[in-house]
Amino acid sequence: MQLPKKEAQLMELIWKQEKVFMKDLIQSYPDPKPATTTIATLLKRLQDKGFVAYKVFGNSREYYPLVKKVDYFSKHVKGMIKNFFDNSPLQFASFFTTATILTIAELEDLKKIVDQEIKGKEK
C-alpha cells in the first residue's frame, strides 16, 4: 500500500524520531505548520492502516511506527519492478544506472555494493 503524500511525510517524521509525541511532530514540520487537528487526522489514518500505534502517558500519546521504513520502501521497489520492468530486477538496475545521472565515484560505489552481494551469495 502506497501512502498519500501527507501521510508519507508524517511517517518520515515518525521513522526519523522512532517514538514521538504530537507536539514534537508539529514542531518537526516546516512553517507554515499544519493544524493539530490535521496531524491528529493523519495519525488516525496511519493507525487504521496499521502503520503506527501509540502508548498513553497521562493526557499524551507517544506514537511509534509498526512498519519499518526499509520494509515499506522495499515493497514499493518490488512493485515498481513488477509493474514497470516485467518483474526483472536486471532491467530495473539497467534503467537506474543509465537513466540517472551518476558520477564515476557513485558508479564505483554501486559496483562495490554489487561485488559485496556477489561475495555474500557465493558463500
What is the chain's pLDDT, residue by residue, as a tens digit (123 residues)?
Answer: 789 999 999 999 999 999 999 999 999 998 999 999 999 999 999 999 999 999 999 999 999 999 999 999 998 889 889 999 999 989 998 898 888 888 999 999 999 999 999 998 887
Greatest pairwise CA separation for the chain in angstroms: 54
Rounded Cα distance, 88 and 82, in Å: 7
The continuous run of DSSP H or E covering 7 comes out as: helix 5-17
How far, in Å, are 50, 57, 64, 92 from residue 19 at the CA level?
Answer: 16, 13, 5, 35
Distance of alpha carbon 79 from alpha carbon 84, whole angstroms: 8
* Residue that is written with C-alpha cell 505548520 in the block: 33
